[in-house]
Amino acid sequence: MNGAGDFELELERELHRILDPISAVPIPPRRAPISGGFTKRLLGGAGAALALKLATGVAVAAFAAAAAGVATEVAATGSLNPSNWGQSVTKAVQTCKDNLRASGTRGIGPCVSAIANQHGQQVSDSHRSSDARGNGKDKGKSDANSHDKGKTTGSGNSHRTPGSGGAGGHP
Amino acid sequence: MDTVPEYRPGSEADFERLYRNSYRRILGTLITMLRDRSAAEDCTQDAFERAFKAWKTWRPDAPAEAWLHRIAINVAINGQKRERLQEVGALLKRVGRPTAPADPAVLAERSDLLVALRKLPPKQAAAIVLRHFHGYSNREIAISLEVPERTVASRLAAARARLQELMEGTRAGPKKFG
C-alpha cells in the first residue's frame, strides 16, 4: 500500500517538475478556423483526382438521362422543340376538356389523369424498345438508336399518340 | 480545477476567455501523449478550433475544461496515428545526418516518466495527467475520457500499474547494461 502511495507521490512530483514550466509559456493567438477547410482539403490533396472522377461520373450520368428523356419526347411528339412536347399535352388536355364540357362534366382531373397514363405508357414502351436495341450495354448507342427509332417505330409511336392525332380527329 | 468561470455556449468572447484560461493545461496534457512539444501545440490549436465549431452545443452542466479535454484527447489520438506514419519518414531523413543541438526547453521535458507515459494507451496517459497533475475529480475525468464515472477508478488503477511497470523497466535497463 505504501509502495503505491509512494509511487503516486513520486508521479505527482515528477509531473509537476515536467509540466509546471508550461504555465509560464506565452499563450499564442487562437488559430482562426479556416472556412471551407474540408472542400480545400478534398480538392487540394490526393482526393482531387477522385473528386474530379466523381464529378465527371455524375455529369455523364445526368447527361445520359437527359439525352434519353429528350429522345423519348422526340419519339413521342415527333419534334425536337421542347415547347412542342408541352404543347401536345396541352392540346390533348384541352380537347378532352371540351369533350367533357359538352357532355356536361366539369373539371379536367380525368383528362389529365388519362393523358398522363397514356404518356407514361408511351415513355415506358419507348424505353423498353431502346433497351432491347442497345442491349443495355452502351447508353450512347441506345441514344443514337432512339433517333432511328423516331424514324421506324417512332412513326408508329406518333400514330399511337392519339392525344394529338386522335384529338385532331375529333372536332 | 481552481475556479469555474461562467461561460455562455456560443459566446465568442467567452470562448476566448476559456482559451486563455485552459490553453496551457490542455497543452500540458497533450505533451504527455504526443511525441514532442510542437506536435502538442499543433494538436492543442486543432482541439480549440474544433471546440470553437462545437461551442454552441456545449452544455454548462459539464465543466468546460473537461469538455475541451475530451476534444483534445480525441485530436491527440488521431495525431498519434499520424505521428506513427511520419516517424518512419523522419527516421529515414535523419539517417546519416549529425544530430542538431537540443533545445533547453525540450531537455526539461525529457524524462523517464514522459517516455513511459507516451508508451501508455493514450486515454490511460491522459487519465494519469488529469488526476495527478490537474487534480480532476472522477466525474471530470469521466467527461474527459468519455467513460462512465464508475469505471474511472479502475482505469486509473490499471494506468498506474502499467506506468509503474514501464518505469521500473526503464530504470532497470541502464543498470542491467551499465
Distance in angstroms (rounded) separating the CA atoms of residues A122 and B72: 61
Q: Is residue B172 part of a domain?
A: yes
Give the list of residues 6+ apart from residue B127 with CB closer than 8 angstroms, or none: B141, B145, B152, B155, B156, B159
User: What is the pLDDT at residue B80?
Assistant: 81
Does residue B4 form part of some domain? no
| Residue in B21, B26, B48, B49 to test binding to A, most A beta-carbons within 10 Å | B49
Residue A105 located in a structural domain: yes
A96 domain-assigned: yes
B161 is a domain residue: yes
Residue A110 belongs to a domain: yes
**Mean pLDDT value across residues A28-48:** 63
B38 touches chain A (CB under 8 A): no
What total of structural domains would you count in chain A? 1
Determine, yes or no, domain membership for B131: yes
| pLDDT for residue A155 | 39
Dump strand ranges (E) for A17-147.
none
B166/A contact by beta carbon, under 8 A = no
Number of domains in chain B: 1
Does residue B37 lie within any of the structural domains? yes
Cell numbers of B85, please?
506514419
For residue B141, which of B69, B88, B76, B89 has the smallest C-alpha distance? B69
Tell me whether 0.95 is exceeded by the ipTM: no
Counted across chains A and B, CB pairs separated by less than 8 A come out at 61
The confidence score (pLDDT) of residue A117 equals 73
Q: Is B48 within the bounds of a domain?
A: yes
> According to the model, what pLDDT value does residue A141 have?
42
Q: Which domain holds residue B154?
A: 12-177
pLDDT digit string (tens) for B85-126?
A: 776 676 666 666 655 544 444 545 568 899 999 999 999 999
Average pLDDT of the segment spanning A98-113 = 68
CA–CA min distance A34, chain B (Å)? 9
State residue A153's pLDDT score. Answer: 40
Segment among B62-66, B68-72, B168-172 with least mean pLDDT = B168-172
Q: Which domain holds residue A142?
A: 69-161
- Write the pLDDT tens digit of every residue in A50-74: 555 666 666 656 656 655 655 555 5
Query: In the predicted model, is pLDDT for residue B177 greater than 90?
Result: no
User: In angstroms, rounded to a whole number, what is the distance separating the alpha carbons of residues B67 and B141?
Assistant: 10
Q: Best of B33, B106, B113 to disrupt the A interface by mutation (most A CBs within 10 Å)?
A: B113
Task: Report yes or no on A170 lying in a domain.
Answer: no
pTM of this prediction?
0.55
Comparing A133 with A149, which gets the higher pLDDT?
Answer: A133
pLDDT interval class at A138 (50, 70, 90):
very low
CA pair distance A111, B70, nearest whole angstrom: 64
Cβ separation of A23 and B114 shorter than 8 Å?
no
